[in-house]
Amino acid sequence: MTSSAGWADLIEPYNTRLPFTPAVVVLPITNQHVQDAVVCAAQTGLKVQAKSGGHSYASTGLGGKNGAMSIHLESLQTIQLDKASGIATVGGGVRLGNLADGIWNQGQASLSHGTCPGVGVGGHLTHGGYSHTSRNYGLAMDQIVAADVVLANGTLIKASSSAYPDIFWAIRGAADSFGIVTTFYLQTRPAPASVTYFQFDLNGVFDSKAIFTNTFMHLQDVAKNASVVNNKVSFGMYLDNYGTYSLSGAYFGSVADFNSKVKPELLRSLPSSTPTVQSLSWYDFLIKTSGSPSLKVPLTGYDEHDNFFAKSVTVPEKDGLTATTMNALYDYLKTATVEYFVIINLYGGPGSAINTKDTNFAAYNDRDSLWVLQNYGYGAETVNFINGINSAIIKAQPQTTFGAYLNYVDPTYDAATAHKVYYGDAVYARLAALKKVVDPQSVFWHPQAIGV
């Protein structure tokens, strides 16, 4: 409660732009504690959300509004690898860095998941989960083979493709509206002996509109070229208000192969660059891409915060982005008066393991995306400026139906817009029908939840 020791620390959000004060914070140690808390909330009319790592861009782990019940899964820290099956049993409060460290040390196993060590598995796995391994391995979501879920009536089930398949489908995309995952069962694979990491800091891309647009259009051509790109290749672009334009990624093969087969085509016609191409062990690759000195993060007292606003754009493979759109984006970015960055990651293209699945596999609608953009900014005028990035892209390409990515959730969308851009009409309709059956009182709620 508000008078409890540590209350202020418990409710401090990752995104300090969106503070909310729960009615109560629950700190369960067992599944039964979670079950009892959910039943109590339902009986007293409180809305419920779980907090895994707490990195939600919209502070949904605190309820997404004042007066909710926030169930912190911090004590659920199991990481147990079955070496025979390769299945890792993972508690709902585990953070990605500790997960990667744990399965490596227990059996040199690997999973595809995001790069930030402090992100919790709960929201990340159930809303996609992208990294530079995803075109080869699939999304983090795709490796869930079963999950222990507390439902709105307080029952605990183990959902999989063969048991409670509708719930299993729904939690991979919309778990925050259907239950609390206390344990994930994840299919690992043996870590590769090495990965080729590459980064090219391109010079002068912002010097002119022609250079900016031609750089991207070339990279888009390469991304769709099956003679260069297969599931061994992943890359993305990072650009910011300081004029940075960095191309980086991973190649599941040797440096020699990358240098002979991929690098020449990636860099052909591009501005000069400062290159980094290196072979790294799996563990060192994870550290390199994390931007942190260590994968391991504290089990308690995690204290990283930011003040920001972010949006996303998912770009259909059939359309890509046009030169007209990139010209419009360049013009808009040149008006920047705030700190921002844009990350453009390749999801689709030849051989992408992300796009080999469809919406029957999971309640996730971005299986046809070529690119996913994250637009992220800081400062007082951030919301207007970041909204303008999205508008510049969408208005320049009216023939395209753009979507958005759930893990870069935008709290400014009204519920109807959020449902459409994150799920699409067909997936949302199926989720809404299931919500009425398994959570008719909307115990699991936030401002953009299924059924709102």
Cα torsion angle, 15, 123, 252, 186, sign: positive
Residues 172-215 have pLDDT tens digits of 999 999 999 999 999 999 999 999 999 999 999 999 999 999 99
Could you tell me if 115 and 244 lie in one domain? no
Residue 24 within a domain = yes
Residues 308-360 have pLDDT tens digits of 999 999 999 999 999 999 999 999 999 999 999 999 999 999 999 999 999 99
Could you tell me if 187 and 313 lie in one domain? no
Residue 55 within a domain = yes
Q: Supply the range of the domain harboring residue 370.
A: 194-280+308-412
Could you tell me if 2 and 128 lie in one domain? yes
Q: How far is CA 22 from CA 13, 51, 63, 237, 269, in A?
A: 11, 12, 7, 38, 54
CA–CA separation, 165 and 271 (whole Å): 50
CA–CA separation, 176 and 265 (whole Å): 42
Starting at the edge strand found earlier in the chain, the sheet holding 195-202 runs: 273-280, 195-202, 245-251, 233-240, 339-346, 369-378, 309-316
Residues 349-402 have pLDDT tens digits of 999 999 999 999 999 999 999 999 999 999 888 999 999 999 999 999 999 999
Could you tell me if 259 and 201 lie in one domain? yes
Average pLDDT, integer, range 81-107: 98
Could you tell me if 248 and 387 lie in one domain? yes
Residue 390 within a domain = yes
- What is the pLDDT, as a whole number, of residue 6? 86
Q: What is the CATH number of the domain that holds 102?
A: 3.30.465.10
Could you tell me if 222 and 117 lie in one domain? no
Residue 297 within a domain = no
Could you tell me if 399 and 449 lie in one domain? no
Residue 328 within a domain = yes
Residue 93 within a domain = yes
Number of domains into which the chain is organized: 2
Q: What is the CATH number of the domain that holds 338?
A: 3.40.462.20
**Residue 5 — pLDDT band, cuts 50, 70, 90?**
confident
Could you tell me if 100 and 140 lie in one domain? yes
